[in-house]
Amino acid sequence: MKKTAILSLLFFAAIAFGQGIKFEEGNFKSLLAKAKKENKLIFVDAYAVWCGPCKLMVKNVFPLKPVGDHYNARFINAKIDMEKGEGIDLAKKYNVKAFPTYLFINGDGEEVHRTLGYVEEKDFIQFAKDAEDPSKTLPALKQKFEKGENNPEFLKNLAGLTMYNDADFTGRVLDRYFNSKKEFDQEDIQMLFSGIQNVESPLYKTFQTRKADITKLLPVEKYEAFDKNLKLNTIFKNSYNVENKTWNDNYFLTEAQKFLSKEEAEKMLMRAKASRALRNKDFATYEKLSLELYKDYSAAGSEELNSLAWNFFENVITKSSLETAVKWAQESVKKKEEYANTDTLANLYNKIGDKKNAKIWAEKSIALGKAAGQDTTDTEKILKGL
């Protein structure tokens, strides 16, 4: 009887999901050929497995019938992990740097439109309509900008569409936008802070000249802290040679000590090296530097420790280092117990072979996740394997 009920639920879930977007199988080359043959655009959900908003789209939006009806009729739909397989090269080709990113690509492989982030049904369908409207695609909007369009809402929308894949262009858009603003609101400040990469950004001048407007809405201490981070970002950028993957330690320490102590500058450099090593998949260097950085982790926040512990779970195999990561995860849970860090703890215990504690924390994590309305599928898989 119980088995029949489970099968019925699975059948119902399959029907429900079938009403939503139907994603195609096959490699990208075959998708391009199909798109060209059928004279359709390819819709690509460019995601990463760790991305929370990506999972929420899968759970809440993609399965909806109106969404499926619109996308299935008009596009060749594909879900591609941008950190695995051919997704790695596609992420480079289409400059995907934030998740989820939604790409609309024609049969020749040309990007027609893009948007990003978690959105509700109505906006997600509107994205599709914009992709099919030649006057609303990203190339058309860029062309309109180049012809001098200065409507504030237009500029704000265009900046949002390009911020995470074309920083230089976004800087020009926001520069025009802020020149038209007599007063700032909180949304303007958020957009300005998101658009500035470093002190070499064209927006840094706006940041400086409009300090009085910004500090009407933001404490001076936060303004100055952000300014310090921008200066550090510039030093990071100019200290690292991307081509040969080397650091100019002397330059970094000399420049950073203009506003940091020697100890702070050295720690910042070590953090930067660890972060870059992780990005370069140099896991041995990342492991060594992180263990040194977090000898004393009492002052680290819960989220910081959880992120660190999860990175070790995913990329480190040394048992003693994984046991240290367990301590980080335990401290994260101690500071703030939630689904994410209890799941990390369960995974780490499982990886070092402590099945008893893995089971205890997997069960606790699932309970916390379900209470918070989160997707606990991956944690449930761990539990079933114990």
Marked catalytic residue, from 31, 35, 41, 54: 54
Longest dimension (CA), the chain: 73
Q: What angle do CA 164, 169, 170 make, to 5 degrees?
A: 55
Instruction: Round to whole Å and give the CA distance between 193 and 204.
Output: 9
Burial of 20 (0-12, 13-18, 19+ CB in 10 A): buried
Residue of 51, 91, 232, 235 marked active site = 51
28-64: burial string, b at 16+ Cβ within 10 Å, e else = beebbeebeeeebbbbbbbbbeebeebbbbbeebbbb
Residue 366 in contact with residue 383, Cβ under 8 Å?
A: yes
Active site residue 51: yes
Give me the count of residues in the chain. Answer: 386
Helix (H) or strand (E) holding 42: strand 41-47
CB atoms within 10 A of CB 299: 6
Other CB atoms within 10 A of residue 100 CB: 25
Catalytic annotation, residues: 51, 54
